[in-house]
Structure 1
Amino acid sequence: MEVLFQQLGLCDPAYARWFEYSYSRKHSLQQPFEPTYETFLRFFERRKYRLAREVFTFDAWTGQEERGRGGMMSFTCGSNEPFYSNLCVLHLPREEPAASRVLTVAGLTAVVRAMVRAWEPDGCAVIAEGDRDAKKVLEDGGPCLGWLMYVSAERGNVPTLPKPVRVEPMEGKGSLIILTPERFSLRNPAHVALAGRVRERLQDAGLLPAPKKEE
């Protein structure tokens, strides 16, 4: 967790300071914290941050006044139980100037790299806010396709994908798939069609779950 917050701080100034997330803005701003190893050990000892004996959950806020939860991160870790998924969700900024800095291929690649360095996850995806199906899959702990998608090498090899999709090595641990060089949009028919073709190839390679058959 210390590595994650440190790496995010290097990604963009929007992630340079953090507060414990609380029921009100005023209360949260009274709870700044330094994201260090010792700090998280202290948090872990608090009952309110533990779902079970060794299952830790935490919500953090950047203190920015944004619509929605653009400055929030939440995660659950340490779980071996099927009903608690080990998951980290970072809400990306909507408002300027942070949005223009972060919501780019370069900016989001840095964010995904921070996630990979910290957690060494099976997968990671950058999804649009309106993509409810992908959000549900992620919340259930499964892999899904997004504008950017990281796939651990342990899950298999990434097949050849149609242009303009790029596949890059990530930290020697897996591959990063980048669907489009510009910001991906669910309102762009070309983007949606491209995502459909990529999804089919990843399903054939066993990197995404196959569609459920109708009974």
Structure 2
Amino acid sequence: MTTHAESQTHPETYYAGAYWGPRRESPESCAQRAAVFLNQLAACDPLLANWNKIPKPRGKGRKTPLMPPDLPALTEAFRRGVNREPGGPAIEHLGLMVSAYNDGLPKELVSVDMTCGSYAQNSSANVCVLSLPSKGESAERLLTASVLTDVTRSMALAWEPDWAVALSHAHRDLQDGEDKADPWLGWVTYLPSQRGTVPPLPAPVRIEPVEDRGTLIILTPERFTVANPEHLALARQVRELLARAGLMRSAAS
């Protein structure tokens, strides 16, 4: 677990992720969702507009651009992304995975991992995780409430997840004792409508609809950090209000 002192010594690193349970989908369906996501991601920031497929095994094979999204190429990428033991048959129920990286400078390298189509029961293997830069001009642009709200909205619209979040690894670590099937509460959190209605929340929290699908909860207009005790207190208060509304569990004591 990251301590407050450590977070002050080492800058917090951030990411965004969408998570959903068993949902059997074809390579074509996964490719269509990925295309929507990559196109919407490109509109969030220029750094998120160029992607190359990471070959399997990693580090071998030539660079394969994924932008602009080409559905046949993406479909083939997901088809080849099936899990399998070396030399063995495809393990289809574990889903299809495509990973990609941007074509930027070393300090601005970001990656995205997309696993879609898993129908393994008692599993939340379907996931889309976007890494984010930790320092430099790109980090200053991306690590803002407005950009991460757009990124999380893109995940919600493309993947239709059970929940999605943008947060720091340090803030995630503080919630690691909680049920992994339960949403983490992040700087930005998406909850679909079927979970229930988001109650009124205290300032400076902002609530935004995502079409008719769900709600985004943005905790603070400035960068949320575990080094700020007021931010942590606000997160605990908001989580308790969401728990009372039946949208997630109370924070671990």
TM-score interval for Structure 1 and Structure 2 normalised by the shorter chain: 0.7 to 0.9
Question: Distance between the aligned counterparts of 1:61 and 1:112, measured in 2?
Answer: 18
Asked if 1:18 is matched to 2:51, the reply is yes
Asked if 1:53 is matched to 2:92, the reply is yes
Are the counterparts in 2 of residues 87 and 141 from structure 1 also a CA contact under 8 Å?
no
Question: Distance between the aligned counterparts of 2:207 and 2:38, measured in 1?
Answer: 26
In structure 2, stretches of 5+ residues that fail to align are: 1-33, 84-90
In structure 1, stretches of 5+ residues that fail to align are: none
Select the residue among 224, 228, 231 that pairs with 1:191.
Answer: 231
Are the counterparts in 1 of residues 66 and 74 from structure 2 also a CA contact under 8 Å?
no
TM-score, with length taken from structure 2: 0.74
Select the residue among 215, 225, 229 that pairs with 1:175.
Answer: 215
- The one-character-per-residue Cα deviations of 1:80-121 (angstroms, maximum 9, x if unpaired) are 213452111111222322112211111111111211221122
Residue 32 of structure 1: aligned partner: 65
Are the counterparts in 1 of residues 144 and 222 from structure 2 also a CA contact under 8 Å?
yes
Residue 111 of structure 2: aligned partner: 72
Q: Between Structure 1 and Structure 2, how many residues are aligned?
A: 207
Q: CA deviation at 1:142?
A: 3.4
Select the residue among 188, 195, 200 that pairs with 1:148.
Answer: 188
SS in structure 1 of the partner of residue 147 of structure 2: helix
2:213 partner amino acid: K
Are the counterparts in 1 of residues 240 and 251 from structure 2 also a CA contact under 8 Å?
no
What is the CA RMSD across the aligned residues, in angstroms? Answer: 2.4
Question: Distance between the aligned counterparts of 1:137 and 1:74, measured in 2?
Answer: 24
Taking structure 1 as reference, are residues 150 and 16 closer, same or farther at Cα in structure 2, changes over 3 Å only?
same
Q: Which is worse superposed, 110-119 or 144-153?
A: 110-119
Select the residue among 129, 142, 147 that pairs with 1:102.
Answer: 142
Question: Distance between the aligned counterparts of 2:98 and 2:177, measured in 1?
Answer: 20
Taking structure 1 as reference, are residues 136 and 56 closer, same or farther at Cα in structure 2, changes over 3 Å only?
farther
1:38 partner amino acid: P
Question: Distance between the aligned counterparts of 1:133 and 1:80, measured in 2?
Answer: 29
TM-score, with length taken from structure 1: 0.86
Q: CA deviation at 1:134?
A: 4.3
Question: Distance between the aligned counterparts of 2:252 and 2:41, measured in 1?
Answer: 36
2:198 partner amino acid: V
SS in structure 2 of the partner of residue 50 of structure 1: coil
Question: Distance between the aligned counterparts of 1:95 and 1:5, measured in 2?
Answer: 23
